[in-house]
A and B are shown apart, each in its own frame.
Chain A
Amino acid sequence: MSARTIVVTSGKGGVGKTTTTANLGATLAKRGRRVVLIDADIGLRNLDLVLGLEKRIVFDLVEVAEGRCQLRQALIKDKRFDSLSILPAAQTREKDAITPEQFAGIVEQAADVSDYVLIDSPAGIETGFRNAVAGANEAIVVTTPEVSAIRDADRVVGKIAAAGKPIRLIVNRLRPEMVRSGDMLSVDDVCDVLSVELLGIVPDDEEVIDTTNRGEPIVLNESNRLRAIYDKVARRLEGELVPFTSFDNQTFFGRLIGAMKAG
């Protein structure tokens, strides 16, 4: 087993797990790493759609688990990157169609042919989540600066920490202007409450909706700021010390601008 195996999870749905997995995976692949993305959300697969690979699916995760095909037959190569492939989830099966052992076995196989295996976990804390976590050695918890997302993130952090796996946090969809005006929790607040090491701060960007509509990861868009931001996240993941961009300085002028905008 050569690769790092990392589960991307959140507890709450809709905070950006799949988008994070897709863009982080694409960024790592751009940096020359061999990356396999596994969609662990059986019955609700979406990673293929977010990456625009939905028409190329032949086999899926459950079929690999059941031995109907080889892993390499089920992996879809993303032609926009040299070294990115995805293993889609099954869409018409139940969540318990696969055992934790089967899933861990597939992750291990994928790890043999890659540098990074990123597992896109389903929302919730049931079977699918447990499988996804059991298959990984590390975890990235994605949250947004909202009370419900943070509370759920705290639950999964507790569960992953109990399994003894290192956890790092991505604060997604931050709106700096709202933080400045005191209407949104800051990254410091979130880290404070969750006490998890920070891996990345990704600001909210409307263009993500547009690029997702087209099935393109946002990091392919050279003019979008998220490209540089995901690059920083990837570098931190690889152990580089990259300073965090400060989005939420509560300076007097920051408040002034925030107050004028709000008022």
Chain B
Amino acid sequence: MIEFLKRLFGQQGSSATAKERLRLVLMTDHLELAPEMIEAMKRDLVELISRYVEVDRERIEVNFERQDRTLAMLANIPILGVNRPNGNGAVTHEAPKPQPEPVATVAAPPSDSKPPVRKRKRRKKSQRARTQLPSTA
């Protein structure tokens, strides 16, 4: 009965799991297939970070790891020292800028997408209650 209601109210069967697993595995496959891309990414990353700090280019490690439902890039970049701004304040001025942006974009999708999901769940409960009444009576 619970299975029936789950399906009736759109709770996904295994197809949602399949899609999620595929997405992840294909992402990993693609990364493995494109080592040049990883190299290019590493290069760009180092270049970006070097604008602010002096890094040990020889000991940089970049790895990809599966973490629950996502793929994570883990970069270990040893820092040798801090780059002083060249007097005009360009670096210190730029530095805080990129920070708030990624935080905002990461935070935005969940706060945007979660409320409708919650709403749907609530509706499901009330409907389930109604549909259960006749069957138990």
Interface residues of A (CB under 8 A from B): 146-147, 150-151, 154-155, 158, 179, 181-186, 189, 192-193, 250, 252, 255-256, 258-260, 262-263
Within 8 Å of chain A (Cβ to Cβ): is B122?
no
Other than the given A154-B29, A255-B9, 16 more pairs (CB < 8 A) read A147-B25, A150-B22, A158-B33, A182-B10, A182-B12, A183-B15, A185-B22, A189-B18, A250-B10, A252-B10, A255-B7, A255-B8, A255-B10, A259-B5, A260-B4, A263-B7
The A interface is mostly helix, strand or loop, or mixed, namely: helix
Which B2-20 residues have a C-beta within 8 angstroms of A?
A: 3-5, 7-16, 18-19
Q: Which residues of A contact B16 (CB under 8 A)?
A: 182
Give the size range of B's interface with the partner: 20 to 34
B13 touches A147 (CB 8 A): no
12 contacts between A and B (CB under 8 A): A147-B22, A154-B29, A155-B29, A181-B7, A182-B10, A182-B11, A182-B13, A183-B14, A189-B18, A189-B19, A255-B9, A256-B8
Chain B residues lying within 8 Å of A262, measured Cβ to Cβ, are 3-4, 7, 13
- The smallest C-beta distance from B51 to any residue of chain A, in angstroms, reads 34
- B80 located at the interface, meaning its Cβ lies under 8 Å from any Cβ of chain A in the complex: no
Closest residue on chain A to residue B3 by CB atoms: A263
Q: Determine the residue in chain B with the shortest Cβ distance to A188.
A: B19
